[in-house]
């Protein structure tokens, strides 16, 4: 039997890299008796970082789903990567959960990735709770972190717990809802039965009263009837406080803050209680409203399940993780894929607890599960009883910015088949062939991202590629209007070839793209040949006159020409269009363009001067800075991509390993004249080598 939807909690663990999400995931599984020992990220023994590359890099690369029971409820917990290169999995998990627990490092406070993912959680209307982790670290400070969270996310961030002790002496928590204290022993290895209820320590009594009052102010703001009684000094029952806290958390009026130390299993039992008490079930959170249909958590209604993650497994084939929104998904059944319109046979259903998987007979509405070996189904598809149109609003994924040319070692077909399987798993990977050079290109969100893909290719599929240095996708454009005449004429016995056209070109606004305008009058070129001229023009634009780069933002007018009733053909007019366009571009003051990136850095305050000096030397333009708490400053700068190709190690050395950055594409700008010659020379040299 499936679990009723009101007894399910779907929760994503979200946060900046290094905030301890995986350690918390591990501790929650251990506390709930889903595992027998508390694994460690440092030792590579956690349940969710099970891939060799995750263990060697000591970071999550893919999401991990674990399902377990606590207090009669089923919790589907998804550990997500905090590294921005692997953000697709964090966004995919948030799409199918009602709630997110944002895990925050008690030393650093609200960091840049946390802020970005918080904004996405807001768009998706997720209930949010914050777990302040790592309170046993040097310089960890719960109250300073709480202020940084309020600065970042507003006044509705409210502490429902405060810690007992600080840094290495942290030993428990005070629950402000019940006004009870809990002390945790610190055995090695950590145990489950390490929590004892105690009196609130005398030295914390005033502080606890102060923060309880702050909490009650926030909770009562959500409920008018409670506010009146609270102001009149009436005693408010515990159940009422919990009820209003739960309602306020459900749709983002309140964001409770709890705390602990995941690696010592301190506070995790309280967090599990908070997940089942304060975070909403699929029923409480409400229906999913899509353009075509509203889906309710009703087991008797027709099945609709959304696939949010595809895993490429060399042994089990494709494994799809899905969320049932309506109806029941049963094993040994048939469903329709509403995207590919194929019938799929659902064989064995899987339930995950980290690396371990078991079998399930069915998943009811609101539940999350997995299925192996579907033939045509991938992330983003819907599985349903009937083949009816249904679409999930697309998640805005960042565009790949770091491109490498690659060369297959050995069996090329095996390499590309395996890469496409990894691309199903991570939609932010881009694979394409460079039209200019013929190179196979692999692009990702960072150098590390591409390196991880190459490692996984070898580890999982035994396929190898060699990466060449990253390439900058230069473009070309024109700066003034020009006209040109293109004629293709060939006569060599039998039928000849004849195409003749006159075009004018002019620059368009940056980003406006390509425009082709047919101004032929009187049939001087028959209508059937006009598309061929346009095709010739477009072909010529693939290789600009300066460095052979694609040309952008040009308007082309075809205004005159002539034809031959026998010798004219589409091919002849395509060649004529190409000849005319090449000549016109050469006469239109062409310019070389380079991609400009918006770089967002999170760096220690004492490194700001060095980092900005370094960005200036890279032709960067700082756009402003903000203190983001925890001794960190966020700096934004516009920098040419060519200057950022090997930035990660340089930033590490400038900031003592404390700096972090993300990049996103902004726009194209003209390359300064003194650099243009170097780029042209490098492109010419590359052509010579390729030839």
Reduced to 3 states (helix: H, G, I; strand: E, B; else coil), residue 535 is helix
- What is the CATH code for 5-285? 3.40.50.300
Is 592-674 CATH 3.40.50.150? no
CA torsion angle for 296, 365, 97, 43 (degrees, to 10)? Answer: 180
On whether the CB atoms of residues 79 and 13 are closer than 8 A, the answer is: yes
Report DSSP letters for 389-432, one per residue: ---PPPP-PPPP-EEEEEEEES-HHHHHHHHHHHHHH-TT-EEE
For residue 399, pLDDT over 50 is answered with yes
The separation between CA 565 and the C-alpha centre of its own chain, rounded to angstroms, equals 57
Cis peptide before 565 (omega within 30 of 0): no
**Please, are residues 175 and 245 in contact by the beta-carbon 8 Å criterion?**
no
Q: What is the pLDDT of residues 295-314, one digit of tens each?
A: 999 999 999 999 999 988 77
Q: How large is the average pLDDT for residues 358-374?
A: 94
Q: How far apart are the first and last CA of the chain?
A: 66
627 against 684, higher pLDDT: 627
Contact 591, 549 (CB under 8 A): no
Same fold? 5-285, 476-588: no
CATH number of 476-588: 3.30.230.10
Predicted confidence band at 358 (pLDDT cuts at 50, 70, 90)? confident
Q: What residue segments make up the domains of the chain, in order of their start?
A: 5-285, 288-384, 402-471, 476-588, 592-674
Averaged pLDDT score across all residues of the chain: 90
Q: Which residue has the higher pLDDT, 647 or 162?
A: 162
Give the integer Cα–Cα distance in Å for 203 and 183: 15
Judge contact between 653 and 661, C-beta under 8 A.
no
CA distance 284 to 127: 11
Tokens of 668: 């194209």
The distance between the two most distant Cα atoms of the chain, rounded to a whole number of Å, is: 107
- Fold of the 288-384 domain: Elongation Factor Tu (Ef-tu); domain 3 (2.40.30)
Are the C-beta atoms of residues 599 and 644 closer than 8 Å to each other? yes
pLDDT at residue 680, as a whole number: 85
Burial class, 204, CB count within 10 angstroms (exposed 0-12 / middle 13-18 / buried 19+): middle
List the single range of 119-133, 140-154, 352-366 with lowest mean pLDDT.
352-366
310 three-class SS = strand
Distant-in-sequence, close-in-space partners of 153: CB < 8 Å, separation ≥ 6: 110, 118, 255
E-only strand ranges, 176-259: 180-184, 195-198, 255-259
pLDDT the model gives residue 103:
97
Long-range (24+ apart) CB contacts under 8 A made by 192-200 are 192/30, 192/31, 192/33, 192/265, 192/269, 194/265, 194/266, 195/269, 198/172, 200/174
DSSP 266: B
pTM: 0.78
pLDDT value of position 691: 46
| pLDDT at site 355 | 65
Q: Which of residues 374 and 683 earns the better pLDDT score?
A: 374
Confidence of residue 49 (pLDDT cuts 50, 70, 90): low
Among 14-18, 100-104, 236-240, 355-359, the range with the most confident prediction by mean pLDDT is: 100-104
The CATH fold assigned to 402-471 is Alpha-Beta Plaits (3.30.70)
Whole-angstrom distance, CA of residue 274 vs CA of residue 277: 5
- The answer, yes or no, to whether residue 688 has pLDDT greater than 60, is no
How far is the C-alpha of 305 from the C-alpha of 385, rounded, in Å? 9
Q: What is the pLDDT of residues 606-637, one digit of tens each?
A: 899 999 999 999 999 999 998 876 677 889 99
Highest average pLDDT, of 272-276, 405-409, 472-476, comes from: 272-276
CA–CA dist 17, 12 (Å, integer): 15
Q: CB neighbours (10 Å) of residue 609? A: 9
Over its C-alpha atoms, the chain yields an Rg (Å, rounded) of 30
The percent of the chain in helix, strand and coil, each rounded to the nearest 5, is 30, 35, 35
How many CB atoms are located within 10 Å of the residue 302 CB? 13
User: 75 in helix, strand or coil?
Assistant: strand
pLDDT tens per residue across span 470-522:
778 899 999 999 999 999 998 766 678 999 999 999 999 998 999 999 999 98
Mean pLDDT of the region 433-444: 79
Backbone angles phi, psi at 32, to 5 degrees: -85, 5
Pairing status of strand 590-604 against strand 515-518? unpaired
67-94: average pLDDT = 93
Contacts of 453 (CB under 8 A, 6+ apart): 419, 422, 426, 429, 442, 444
């Amino acid at each position: 039997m499936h679990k009723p939807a009101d007894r399910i909690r779907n929760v994503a663990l979200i946060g900046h890299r290094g905030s301890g999400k995986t350690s918390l995931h591990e501790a929650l599984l251990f506390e709930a008796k889903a595992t027998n020992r508390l694994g460690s990220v440092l030792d590579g023994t956690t349940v969710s970082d099970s891939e060799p590359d995750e263990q060697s890099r000591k970071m999550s690369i893919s999401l991990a789903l674990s399902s377990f029971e606590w207090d009669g409820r089923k919790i589907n917990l998804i550990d997500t990567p905090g590294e921005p290169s692997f953000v697709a999995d964090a966004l995919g998990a948030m799409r199918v959960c009602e709630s997110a627990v944002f895990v925050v490092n008690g030393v650093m406070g609200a960091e840049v990735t946390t802020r970005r993912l918080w904004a996405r959680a807001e768009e998706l209307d997720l209930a949010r709770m914050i777990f302040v982790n790592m309170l046993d670290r040097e310089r960890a400070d719960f109250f300073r972190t709480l202020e940084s969270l309020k600065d970042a996310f507003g006044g509705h961030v409210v502490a429902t717990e405060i810690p007992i002790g600080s840094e290495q002496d942290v030993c428990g928590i005070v629950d402000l809802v019940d006004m009870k204290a809990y002390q945790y022993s610190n055995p090695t290895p950590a145990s489950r039965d390490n929590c004892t209820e105690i009196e609130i320590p005398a030295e914390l009594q005033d502080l606890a009263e102060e923060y309880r009052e702050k909490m009650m102010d926030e909770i009562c703001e959500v409920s008018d009837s409670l506010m009146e009684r609270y102001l009149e000094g009436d005693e408010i029952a515990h159940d009422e406080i919990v009820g209003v806290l739960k309602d306020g958390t459900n749709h983002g009026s309140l964001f409770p803050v709890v705390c602990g130390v995941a690696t010592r299993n301190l506070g995790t039992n309280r967090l599990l209680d908070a997940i089942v008490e304060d975070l909403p079930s699929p029923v409480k959170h409400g229906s999913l409203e899509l353009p075509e249909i509203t889906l309710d958590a009703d087991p008797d209604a027709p099945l609709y399940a959304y696939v949010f993650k595809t895993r490429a497994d060399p042994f089990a084939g494709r494994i799809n993780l899905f969320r049932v929104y309506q109806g029941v998904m049963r094993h040994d059944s048939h469903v329709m894929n509403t995207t590919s319109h194929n019938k799929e046979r659902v064989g064995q259903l899987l339930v995950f607890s980290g690396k371990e998987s078991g079998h399930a007979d069915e998943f009811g509405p609101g539940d999350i599960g997995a299925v192996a070996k579907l033939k045509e189904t991938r992330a983003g598809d819907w599985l349903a009883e009937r083949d009816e149109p249904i679409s999930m609003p697309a998640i805005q994924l960042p565009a790949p910015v770091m491109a490498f040319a690659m060369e297959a070692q050995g069996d090329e077909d095996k390499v590309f088949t395996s890469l496409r399987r990894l691309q199903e798993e991570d939609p932010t990977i881009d694979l394409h062939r460079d039209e200019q050079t013929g190179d196979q290109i692999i692009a990702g969100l960072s150098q590390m991202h591409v390196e991880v893909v190459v490692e996984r290719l070898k580890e999982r599929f035994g396929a190898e590629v060699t990466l060449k240095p990253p390439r900058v996708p230069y473009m070309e454009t024109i700066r003034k209007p020009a006209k040109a005449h293109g004629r293709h004429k060939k006569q060599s016995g039998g039928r000849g070839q004849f195409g003749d056209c006159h075009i004018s070109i002019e620059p368009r606004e940056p980003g406006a793209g390509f425009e082709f305008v047919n101004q032929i009058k009187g049939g001087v070129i028959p209508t059937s040949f006009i598309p061929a001229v346009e095709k010739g023009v477009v072909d010529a634009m693939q290789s600009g006159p300066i460095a052979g780069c694609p040309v952008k933002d040009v308007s082309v007018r075809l205004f005159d020409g002539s034809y031959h009733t026998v010798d004219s053909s589409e091919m002849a007019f395509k060649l004529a269009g190409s000849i005319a366009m090449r000549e016109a571009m050469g006469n239109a003051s062409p310019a070389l363009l380079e991609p400009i990136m918006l770089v967002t850095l999170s760096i220690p305050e004492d490194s700001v001067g060095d980092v900005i000096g370094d960005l200036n030397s890279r032709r960067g333009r700082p756009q402003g800075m903000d203190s983001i708490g925890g001794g960190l400053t966020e700096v934004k700068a516009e920098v040419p991509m060519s200057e950022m190709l090997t930035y990660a190690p340089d930033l590490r050395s400038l900031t003592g390993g404390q700096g972090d950055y993300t990049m996103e594409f902004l726009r194209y700008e003209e390359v300064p004249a003194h650099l243009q010659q170097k780029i042209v020379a490098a492109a010419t040299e590359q052509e010579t080598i390729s030839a």
